[in-house]
Amino acid sequence: MQRVPGDMSHFNFGIGEVVIFMVAFVLVFLLLGIVDLLAKNATTRSGGIAGLLVVLTLLAALPVWGTVVYLLLASFGENSQALWTIAPWMLTVAATRLGGVFLACALICGIVYAVAKGVHHQKYEIMRAVMGILVAGVLIYAPIMLYKSFH
């Protein structure tokens, strides 16, 4: 029987895949943290705004590139062939179901930065606090949303 994209009947999502998933998103958040630190410590206004735009862009696309990192890490495992048959489905779910939520978070953070008073460092700290709250909320909400959409 030939496998087709999106055929999940041949994919065994076990504890190994869960660990790889967690490692992938830890790496993604580590990269986001490094970029965030560089943007916060920018010495010029233009450098700070450029860093802010990079952070918000990475935040908006977090589900997609987190899924790409997961797919790349998991491709070294024993389920790699089955994983690549559902890869288009995983990327579609990440982009359509979760992408809008993270895009909204990035837009809210950008608006908070624009509205906040003070110099770049003060505005950035306020924006980071809002980003932390929003991302924590989304990380709680996303599994619930995905579970309800498939059941």
Using one digit for the tens of pLDDT, what is the confidence trace for 90-110? 888 888 878 888 888 889 988
The pTM score is: 0.69
CB 5, CB 85: distance < 8 Å: yes
| Per-residue pLDDT band at 14 (split at 50, 70, 90) | low
| Per-residue pLDDT band at 7 (split at 50, 70, 90) | low
- For residue 11, the one-letter residue type is F
pLDDT tens-place string over residues 27-77: 777 877 787 787 778 788 788 788 888 888 888 888 888 888 888 877 777
| Per-residue pLDDT band at 115 (split at 50, 70, 90) | very high
CB 101, CB 107: distance < 8 Å: no
Q: What is the pLDDT of residue 60?
A: 84
What backbone phi and psi angles, to 5 degrees, belong to 4?
-120, 155
pLDDT above 80 for 150? no
The gap from C-alpha 103 to its chain's centroid, in whole angstroms, comes to: 10
Closest CA to 59 of 143, 139, 115: 139
Q: Which long-range contacts (CB under 8 A, 24 or more apart) does 7-16 make?
A: 7/85, 7/86, 8/86, 8/89, 10/82, 10/85, 11/79, 11/82, 11/83, 11/85, 11/86, 12/79, 12/82, 16/77, 16/78, 16/79
pLDDT above 70 for 11? no
- Three-class HEC string of 18-77: HHHHHHHHHHHHHHHHHHHHHHHCCCCHHHHHHHHHHHHHHHHCHHHHHHHHHHHHHCCC
